[in-house]
Chains A and B, each alone.
Chain A
Amino acid sequence: DAKTTQPPSMDCAEGRAANLPCNHSTISGNEYVYWYRQIHSQGPQYIIHGLKNNETNEMASLIITEDRKSSTLILPHATLRDTAVYYCIVSLPDSGNTPLVFGKGTRLSVIA
């Protein structure tokens, strides 16, 4: 079973920041938080990951609370192309040896 809890759906106005929350209260000390998204009928796409520090890349920012029991993915300026299902996953760092356990994710709808 997935070790994360996410809201089933969220809406966001185009151009505004999308903040997607994730709870992972049972995360272990050596587990990372990964975010993937899946645009309709495509394979999941990696977005970002982190251990305990906040992370930022060209796609998004990841904010992890100090106790590591929750995190927030931030898309700073959402566009219509960001409409997708977003998955928060807790996993050991070597994805080549550890399968990803997906939940149902959050369906983000970006509205014009």
Chain B
Amino acid sequence: DAGVTQSPTHLIKTRGQQVTLRCSPISGHKSVSWYQQVLGQGPQFIFQYYEKEERGRGNFPDRFSARQFPNYSSELNVNALLLGDSALYLCASSFTGSYGAEAFFGQGTRLTVV
């Protein structure tokens, strides 16, 4: 079975541009979460979606938005890119409702803003 897949793997954008990152969860997983990881830090929570509804949002500006589709895949959008948005963006999927269930992470999208 395929794991969590993210696309693209690498991306270079210019300040002020917009970017869309994509994530496909493991089959059967209905929960998708997004994390941002800057160099030298642990991943920081951005959004969590379950059944197409936003379940949680981290401390990120409104330039960040996301959505989940009927097939449970998800997109993360970032508008008006800043140099500080350069990071590894991670997607994780989970089987909600399973006691003690772990999250499965994709390999991430490395975004560089120049």
Please tell me if A21 contacts chain B, counting CB pairs below 8 Å.
Answer: no
Which of A11-19, A37-45, A65-73, A76-84 lines the interface with chain B?
A: A37-45
Are B101 and A105 within 8 A (Cβ)?
Answer: no
Q: Which residues of B contact A51 (CB under 8 A)?
A: 100
B96 → chain A closest CB, angstroms: 3
User: Hey, which chain A residues are within 8 Å of B92, CB to CB?
Assistant: 43-44, 100
What is the chain A residue whose CB lies nearest that of B91? A43
Chain B contributes a number of interface residues (CB within 8 A of A) equal to: 35
Give A43 to B42 CA distance when docked, in angstroms: 11
Secondary structure dominating the interface of B? loop
Q: How far is the CA of A102 from the CA of B105 in the complex (A)?
A: 14
DSSP class of A's interface residues: helix, strand, loop or mixed? loop
Contact of A104 with B42 in the complex, beta carbons under 8 Å: yes
CB-based nearest A residue for B105: A43
A-side interface residues, number (CB < 8 Å): 26
- Say whether B100 contacts A46, CB under 8 Å: no
Q: Cβ of B42 and Cβ of A87 under 8 Å apart?
A: yes
At the interface, yes or no: A94 with Cβ under 8 Å from chain B? yes
Most-contacted residue by chain B among A93, A96, A98 (CB, 10 A): A96
Contact flag A96-B43 (CB < 8 Å), given A34-B102, A43-B4, A43-B107: no
Residue positions of A touching B, CB distance < 8 A: 2, 32, 34, 41-46, 49, 51, 85, 87, 93-105
